[in-house]
Amino acid sequence: MGAQCSLQCSQWFPVQISIDTRDRLPSTGNMIPRFGLGTWLSEGKGEAYNAVTIALRNGYRLIDTAALYNNEEDVGRAIKESKIPRNEIYVVTKLDPEEHNNPVKALKVSLRKLGLEYVDLYLIHSPKGKQVLNAWNALIKAKEKGLAKDIGVSNFGVEQLEKLRQSGCSEMPAVNQIELHLWNQQNETIKYLKENKIAVMGYCPLGRLKRLNSSSLVDDVAKKCNLTVPQLAIRWSVQKGYITIPKSSNENRIKENSNIFGKCIIPKHMMEELEKVDEGFEASNSVKSMNIPWEDVK
């Protein structure tokens, strides 16, 4: 077992972290890897299978997929053929927004495609699927049935989460997966998540490569830390304590993205300097779902 830590830790980590680092989810106590592979846009024609196979060979132990990605079968095949014990691989999948009326059935379909008896984390992919209260209560039942070890949400904003809390549901999300990177640091949302013991999982840690060359400050810090700019962006995220899932299907990039451990820790003063890079840049359209009024999604 690698290094362990609570996701309620401070804003910066002065200790070494590794690809094996696992954190304890604040609300449930279950362990989750700090670092993993995203498979968005890795379609199910072998691309996702190859990416997951390469990632697992290089030490990745968290794999993120979704019903909408149309690659669950390939992800499941790569996991099975890896021969790595099931309890060592953390699998995340998500509810199709079109299936909010029957999440348990949808999860069973995902499990069949993945070839698994359970997933470690099942997320409502987006509030834009509406019927959020119905969907969330169904996820609680799915967890009680043993179909998911933990449950959470993705692309939820502060108002949506607070209204969910006020609804009196028996359990709040263990995780909120959101777009999160140097150029969109989501400070208001992060503050709410920490205060309510909801772990932060960030997708698009590279901002879909659209801002990598936009800041001389980022270039300077990367050079001083002996990292490429993409590596710096990922290192910033994991050093903040965020569960981070860079997406790639390219073997060299999958290896480069994980080669941020055992290198220079970004010093505290540089972490503080990097706060200046935040410009609220939205790399994906999904992030806009965080601002849909509760009355339109409940």
- Which residues are the active-site residues? 69
Sheet holding 22-24, edge to edge: 4-6, 22-24, 31-33
